Chain A
Amino acid sequence: GDSVTQMEGPVTLSEEAFLTINCTYTATGYPSLFWYVQYPGEGLQLLLKATKADDKGSNKGFEATYRKETTSFHLEKGSVQVSDSAVYFCALPNQAGTALIFGKGTTLSVSS
């Protein structure tokens, strides 16, 4: 079945460091791909999405490119801030479109 695999965390970085969180997926067809972020004590929020191959989603300095060839959707940011500390989830819809399949989440901790 469809699935999402994310790199295990936690990821610990200093402020202004470059961030990459890897995400690969297995899916039938070419579903939309999502990154969600969960700040402490809050629900998940959509960070960015891409709807087709080679699309680049971007928001708040974060970017991810839908790579059909490598079935990947890696999240990147050029210069992280302390306020980016959160849990990040990669996700895609199941085949029926009735649920999102989430990766297990990657915890990012940024120190000043």
Chain B
Amino acid sequence: EAQVTQNPRYLITVTGKKLTVTCSQNMNHEYMSWYRQDPGLGLRQIYYSMNVEVTDKGDVPEGYKVSRKEKRNFPLILESPSPNQTSLYFCASRITGIGNSPLHFGNGTRLTVT
């Protein structure tokens, strides 16, 4: 089954404790991206990757890192999480870097930073 898989689904952590949210897709998509969803703000892009070893900042990249060493994986790293990073995070992928292709989303990771 074609899918984007994120782990974990739920994560509670404390301020400053490094964490990684994994994302993997099995559709051989070139493009991958991370969004965060917050009440009243909708979805905002954190980082994106047009292909292996090519990553770039989205609208809200501060406090996050990503890497794209393999085509299928695109982990999101929070080196020193803070409470304002409490949010619902989504990984997404699509077949090309062209904007007209639809995005495929994972089921989300709900992160709470205390």
Enumerate chain A interface residues (CB-CB to B < 8 A): 31-32, 34, 36, 41-46, 49, 51, 89, 93-94, 96-100, 102-105
Q: How many residues of B are counted as interface, with CB atoms below 8 angstroms from the partner's CB atoms?
A: 25
Between A44, A49, A51, the greatest number of chain B beta carbons within 10 A of the residue's beta carbon is seen for A44
Q: Once the chains bind, are B105 and A43 in contact (CB under 8 Å)?
A: yes
In angstroms, how far is the closest chain B Cβ from the Cβ of A16? 29
Enumerate chain B interface residues (CB-CB to A < 8 A): 4, 33, 40-43, 45, 48, 50, 56, 58-59, 90, 92, 97-100, 102-108
In angstroms, how far is the closest chain A Cβ from the Cβ of B13? 21
What A residues does B98 contact at CB under 8 A? 97
Contact of B99 among A44, A98, A102 (CB under 8 A): A98
What A residues does B108 contact at CB under 8 A? 42-43
Contact of A97 among B42, B56, B92, B97 (CB under 8 A): B97
Q: Once the chains bind, are B41 and A43 in contact (CB under 8 Å)?
A: no
In angstroms, how far is the closest chain B Cβ from the Cβ of A90? 10
In angstroms, how far is the closest chain A Cβ from the Cβ of B20? 19
Q: Once the chains bind, are A89 and B42 in contact (CB under 8 Å)?
A: yes
In angstroms, how far is the closest chain B Cβ from the Cβ of A73? 14
Q: How far is the CA of A51 from the CA of B108 in the complex (A)?
A: 27
Q: Once the chains bind, are B99 and A32 in contact (CB under 8 Å)?
A: yes
Contact of A94 among B42, B43, B92, B99 (CB under 8 A): B99
Q: How far is the CA of A31 from the CA of B99 in the complex (A)?
A: 8
What B residues does A31 contact at CB under 8 A? 99-100
Q: Once the chains bind, are B43 and A89 in contact (CB under 8 Å)?
A: yes
Instruction: Given A31-B99, A103-B42, decide whether A98 and B107 contact each other with a Cβ distance below 8 A.
Output: no
Instruction: Given A89-B42, A89-B43, A98-B48, decide whether A43 and B102 contact each other with a Cβ distance below 8 A.
Output: no
Known contacts A102-B42, A104-B42; can you find 12 more A-B pairs with CB under 8 A? A32-B100, A43-B4, A43-B92, A43-B107, A49-B102, A89-B43, A93-B100, A98-B50, A98-B58, A99-B33, A99-B48, A104-B40
